[in-house]
Every structure is written in C-alpha cells, then in structure tokens.
C-alpha cells in the first residue's frame, strides 16, 4: 500500500477527524489499481462517539422549524449543482464510471435533495373535526431520533443522497457508513452538507465494514436503519436490525427482465437493451440482465449481438468509452467465472468479453460486453445476479409465458416491456410481480416524488426509499384527541366505552 496515500477521515461531532483505527482498507482506481486513498475501519469508541453526538444533536435539531430545515436543503442542492462536475470527477476516479455516467449518479442524488427541500408540505398530518361531540382529532408526524445508513459501492453519490437528506429534513440526525470501496465521493457530499449550514452533529460519517455496521445494528440509540447492497447482507441487516427492535429498510440485489414483444420497434429495442445491460459495466441494481424474446422478436438476437460487440469500455476521461472497469479485481474474477459457468452449462456465448483489453490500461478490471443466447432458468447465469456487463437472452412463445417466467424469479426490483400494443402493456403492468415497471423504458427508476419500490428478494421491509414512503419511514405519527369544553359538567367517572 502506498505510504503517501490519503487517509480518509471520519466525520464526528461536526469535525473531520483522523481515525485511531489500526486497520485501513486501500481505495483503488479500478482502471489502474493505483491506491488513491486508505479508508479506516473505525474503532468501537469512534462509532459510539458518533452515535452519542447524533443523539445529543437530535435534541436541538428536532426543534428547528421545518422551513429552516428546508432552507438547509435548498442551499445544499445549490451547492451540489455548483460542484456537480468536481464531485463527478472524484466519483469517476474511484468507481471507474465514465464522466457522463458519474454526473448522472450525482444528478439522481441532487433530485432527492430537491425533494427534501419540499419537506414542510410533506410533514403535514391529518385532522378531523367533531369525531365525537366537541372532540377533534389531529395527527402530527415527528422524527424518530438517530437514523443510520449503509450504502453500496455502485452509486456512491445517489444512494447516500437517497437517505440522509430525507432523514435529516424530517428532523432526525443521521450516521452514514459508506461503502469502503469508494468513500471519497460521500466524503465530498458531507463537506458540502456542512457548508450548506447543517448544524454540528446532525450528520456523522463512520467508515469500515461488518464490525462497524454491527455496532449500529445493535445500539439501542439507533432507531432506524436504511441499507442498500447485496442480498445476503440485506437479509442479515434486516434480521439483525429488527431483532434489535429497529425499523429497517433493506434494498438488495436483482435480476431484471426486459420482455420484447414482436410488435416493438426493433431499433428502439436494440438501442435500449445495449445501454441498459452493459451501461455502468452492468453494475446497476436496475440493469437489464435478462432479455425475454417473445415469438418472432428472437430474430433480432443476431443484430443485438452485433451492436453489443461494438461497445468498448475505457477509462473515465475517455469520451468514447461506453462504460468503465468493474469495481475490483475480485468483482472481475467473479463475473468471468460466471461467464465460464454459462458456457459450461450450455448457453451460447454470442459475444464474449472475458479477454477484454483497453489500450494504456493493462491493469484495469475490464470485462467486455458479453451476450448469451439459449439461456434457461436452470442455468447459474440466469439464477445469480452477475453484476457485470452480461446480457442473457431467453426465448418464449407468448406474453403469458414471459409473465410466468418473470413472476417465478425470486427478485422483483425492475422490469420492462417493449411493445406497440397498449393491451399487452396493460396486462404486463397489472400481472407482473415486480415493484418497478417500464413500458418502452428499459430502466424505470422513479423520480423522487415517487418512491423506489423494489419487491420480493430485492427488498426487505415495507416503506421504501425517498418520496412519501421515506417520510413515513423516518417519522412516527402522533395522534391527538382533544376536547376544549366551554364549561365543565361533572357526571362522575366514565366506566365504559361510550357509544356514539
């Protein structure tokens, strides 16, 4: 490990501090393997200090009027826009994403901050007058206290921004534990949040992995936990967090299918499938990894293969690069073994990205676009989330068969249908057991006034990310029933439930 590499700081009680950690994890540029920073595995005392500081800050932050909390978010979204390119550059360097894609990652997060700036209207409760004679009932929503978020590597701007702006706008304080693979982007996001005028202690950042997460999962002062990452970790977080009586939302992996009807526009289908399958090197939880060709649309498979074969990955600052490297050599190795497994199990590999070379970057974690046809549900490449630039084609004869295939899959994050037939689209949207459906749109990620609503094994919990569901996740409802009699009448104690 380079001795001069930059040590990433923790953010505790309003200060960026160097950790007392004995263990550091290298952060590398995935196109070169150069160590660009080292991230500490925070000590137990440091995580506990963050929790204590967040708990203390909650006492004053919950009293800050909601329009003032909104103004912090207004200043924050302006700062994020002002620094958009600079954040994207940091993000591109540590994730390998192309510059334009890195800007998209930041932008999707900015949109959530814009939504958080609308918090006054979102915090409104309900009222009913005269629920009994002279009695009114009304409800308020109030923040929970200390909330925490654990985020994955693949969207180091967007996913932290799904969480802390909404939680904090609701009046909570927040502890972020970003991915150890790309902590520099979240660090910059936090610096700008401080500049936006967030009071000391409202947001804290601790770094590390399982050990640090376990402290957050078990500490009684952490009231709610948001997680995004892989399926086994999501299950663990959900089980452990709820066992410790916390509110938990855990977003997990995916296997997203796109159904191609023969009446769809061929060129639209091909363009959309290429971008949605190998864009961001397939490292998106909403990537299309299975294309289901219905009837005659299978005739487009050779043309799709030709288009995919033309796609070239490259370094983040190469304007011609379609996507970047995988996040780590381990991730690359895993994807390559799955591709080999696909070949062994009898899928036909029409485009093989295993020997991908990018000139000038011999050490990058490159995997070229890979396309399998004749894939069946029994194959490992169909069953596992590959999280690489790999598309699997499955062929069926009818829309009903396509729906049955998608519904039999244990994941339910996103899906899409390409068709010119409104009735087919309507049937698909109604019958499909997936939480986010695109009609002639490959990756239907909802904007922040809706919520991100994965289903089945793609999500454990009930209230989803951002939008109105996030407000409910990060708040508690208090219902008040009030009587203000004009004069007191003494009828003695009331011993029964009164009928109206």
User: What residues line the site for ligand NAD (CB under 6 A)?
Assistant: 150-155, 177, 179-180, 209-210, 213, 228-230, 233, 236, 251-254, 285, 385, 387, 413, 452, 454, 458
Closest to ligand NAD by CB, 85 or 211: 211
Rounded distance between C-alpha atoms, residue 151 and residue 278, angstroms: 22
Rounded distance between C-alpha atoms, residue 195 and residue 193, angstroms: 5
Closest to ligand NAD by CB, 70 or 146: 146
Least separation in angstroms between CB 464 and ligand NAD? 9
Least separation in angstroms between CB 138 and ligand NAD? 35
**Do residues 405 and 393 touch, judged by C-beta distance below 8 A?**
no
Closest to ligand NAD by CB, 31 or 286: 286
Rounded distance between C-alpha atoms, residue 181 and residue 168, angstroms: 25
The CB-nearest residue to ligand NAD is 229
Q: Which two tokens stand for residue 104?
A: 């998209």
Rounded distance between C-alpha atoms, residue 223 and residue 257, angstroms: 36
**Do residues 30 and 42 touch, judged by C-beta distance below 8 A?**
no
Secondary structure of residue 53 in the 3-state scheme = helix
Closest to ligand NAD by CB, 196 or 338: 338
Least separation in angstroms between CB 321 and ligand NAD? 22
Closest to ligand NAD by CB, 19 or 297: 19
Least separation in angstroms between CB 179 and ligand NAD? 4
Rounded distance between C-alpha atoms, residue 82 and residue 76, angstroms: 10
> Considering only CA atoms, which of 206, 208, 179, 205 is closest in space to residue 194?
205
Closest to ligand NAD by CB, 251 or 323: 251
Distance of CA 317 to the CA centre of its chain: 25
Which residues, in sequence order, are CB contacts of 124 under 8 Å at separation 6+? none
Distance of CA 397 to the CA centre of its chain: 34
Closest to ligand NAD by CB, 108 or 177: 177
Rounded distance between C-alpha atoms, residue 404 and residue 277, angstroms: 22
Least separation in angstroms between CB 250 and ligand NAD? 9
* Beta bridge pairs of residue 280: none
Phi, psi (degrees; rounded to nearest 5) at 348? -95, 115
Strand 10-12 to 15-17 pairing = antiparallel
Least separation in angstroms between CB 151 and ligand NAD? 6
Closest to ligand NAD by CB, 152 or 353: 152
Least separation in angstroms between CB 141 and ligand NAD? 24
Rounded distance between C-alpha atoms, residue 57 and residue 115, angstroms: 23
| Residue 296, CA atoms < 13 Å, CB-side half-sphere | 6
Least separation in angstroms between CB 470 and ligand NAD? 13
Q: What is the CA radius of gyration of the chain?
A: 25
Locus of tokens 């990756």: 443
Q: What residues act catalytically?
A: 285
Give the Å distances, CA to CA, from 439 to 220, 255, 286, 328, 445.
44, 17, 14, 34, 12
């Amino acid at each position: 490990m380079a001795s001069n590499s930059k040590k990433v700081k923790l953010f505790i009680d309003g200060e960026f501090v160097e950790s007392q950690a004995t263990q550091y994890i290298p952060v590398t540029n995935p196109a070169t393997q150069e160590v660009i920073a080292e991230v500490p595995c925070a000590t137990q005392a440091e995580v506990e200090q963050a929790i204590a500081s967040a708990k203390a800050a909650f006492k004053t932050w919950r009293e800050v009027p909601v329009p003032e909390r909104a103004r912090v978010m207004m200043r924050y979204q302006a700062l994020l826009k002002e620094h958009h390119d600079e954040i994207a550059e940091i993000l591109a360097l540590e994730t390998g994403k192309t510059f334009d894609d890195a800007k998209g990652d930041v932008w999707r997060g900015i949109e959530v901050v814009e939504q958080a700036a609308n918090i006054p209207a979102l915090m409104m409760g309900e009222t009913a007058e005269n629920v009994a004679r002279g009695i009114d009932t009304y409800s308020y929503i109030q923040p929970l206290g200390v909330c925490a978020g654990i985020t994955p590597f693949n969207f180091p701007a967007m996913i932290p921004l799904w969480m802390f702006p909404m939680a904090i706008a609701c009046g909570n304080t927040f502890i972020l534990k970003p991915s150890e693979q790309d902590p520099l982007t979240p660090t910059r996001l936090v610096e700008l949040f401080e500049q936006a005028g967030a009071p000391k202690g409202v947001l804290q950042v601790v770094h590390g992995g399982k050990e640090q997460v376990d402290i957050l999962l078990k500490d009684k002062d952490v009231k709610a936990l948001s997680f995004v990452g892989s399926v086994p970790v999501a299950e663990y977080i959900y089980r452990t967090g709820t066992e410790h009586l916390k509110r938990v939302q855990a977003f997990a992996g995916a296997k997203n299918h796109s159904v191609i009807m023969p009446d769809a526009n061929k060129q639209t289908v091909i363009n959309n499938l290429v971008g949605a399958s190998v864009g961001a090197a397939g490292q998106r939880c909403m990537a299309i990894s299975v294309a289901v060709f219905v009837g005659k649309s299978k005739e487009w498979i050779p043309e799709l293969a030709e288009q995919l074969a033309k796609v070239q990955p490259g370094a983040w600052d190469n304007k011609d690069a379609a996507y970047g490297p995988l996040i780590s050599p381990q991730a690359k190795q895993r994807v390559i073994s799955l591709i080999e497994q696909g070949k062994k199990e009898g899928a036909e590999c029409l485009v093989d990205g295993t020997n991908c070379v990018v000139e000038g970057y011999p050490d990058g974690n490159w995997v070229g676009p890979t396309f399998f046809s004749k894939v069946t549900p029994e194959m490992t490449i169909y069953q596992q989330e590959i999280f690489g630039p790999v598309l699997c084609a499955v062929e069926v004869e009818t829309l009903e068969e396509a729906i049955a295939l998608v519904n039999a899959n244990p994941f339910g994050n996103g899906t899409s249908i390409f068709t010119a037939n409104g009735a087919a689209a309507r049937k698909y949207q109604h019958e499909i057991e997936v939480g986010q459906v695109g009609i002639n749109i490959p990756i239907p990620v909802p904007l922040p006034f809706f919520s991100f609503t994965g289903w089945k094994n793609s999500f454990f919990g009930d209230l989803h990310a951002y939008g109105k569901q996030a407000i409910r996740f990060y708040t508690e409802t208090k219902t008040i029933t009030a009587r203000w009699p004009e004069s007191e009448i003494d009828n003695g104690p009331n011993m029964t439930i009164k009928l109206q």
